[in-house]
């Protein structure tokens, strides 16, 4: 299942051209700081994903984590459980447990469109199949 989701994500986020458009995500708190608004997707692509994707798939595509006090431990955190909803070209994440004031969180955005060229793998010494990511940090 995860391989199918990853393949779908690569196709949808990278597009069909030789030069994939990278998704530049923007995040902000909304609904009186109860939810996280994730913007930057193409409206048609996000609508297709939203129709056919369950909450578990969203959690693997756009996971939200609580930032640990020792940031070296970021990669070992459990995913923040919650619900994902699609509204226009936005994805709205609402955690099962409310965000805490003063606590930092982060959204891990996997950059599936990067590193598609063999030269890029060689230059950056990446292994085929490795996916780069960007952590978008936010706090309430």
All structural domains of the chain: 2-139 (2.60.40)
**pLDDT tens digits in sequence order for the chain, 140 residues long:** 554 454 445 545 554 444 445 678 999 999 999 999 999 988 887 877 777 677 788 888 899 999 999 999 999 999 999 999 988 889 999 999 999 999 999 999 887 555 455 455 445 555 555 667 899 999 98
**Does the reported pTM lie above 0.85?**
no
Do the beta carbons of residue 59 and residue 78 sit within 8 Å?
Answer: no
Q: Could you give the CA distance from residue 79 to residue 118 in angstroms, rounded to a whole number?
A: 32
The dihedrals phi and psi of 82, each to the nearest 5 degrees, come to: 175, -175
């Amino acid at each position: 299942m995860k391989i199918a989701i990853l393949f779908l994500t690569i196709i949808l986020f990278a597009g069909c051209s030789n030069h994939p458009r990278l998704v530049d995500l923007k995040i902000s708190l909304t609904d009186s700081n109860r939810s996280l608004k994730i913007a930057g997707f193409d409206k048609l692509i996000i609508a297709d994903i939203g129709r056919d994707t369950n909450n578990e798939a969203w959690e693997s595509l756009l996971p939200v984590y609580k930032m640990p006090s020792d940031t070296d431990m970021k990669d070992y955190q459990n995913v923040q459980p919650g619900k994902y909803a699609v509204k226009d070209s936005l994805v709205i994440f609402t955690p099962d447990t409310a965000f805490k004031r003063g606590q930092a969180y982060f959204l891990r955005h996997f950059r599936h469109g990067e590193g598609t060229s063999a030269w890029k793998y060689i230059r950056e010494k990446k292994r085929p199949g490795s996916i780069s990511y960007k952590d978008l940090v936010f706090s309430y």
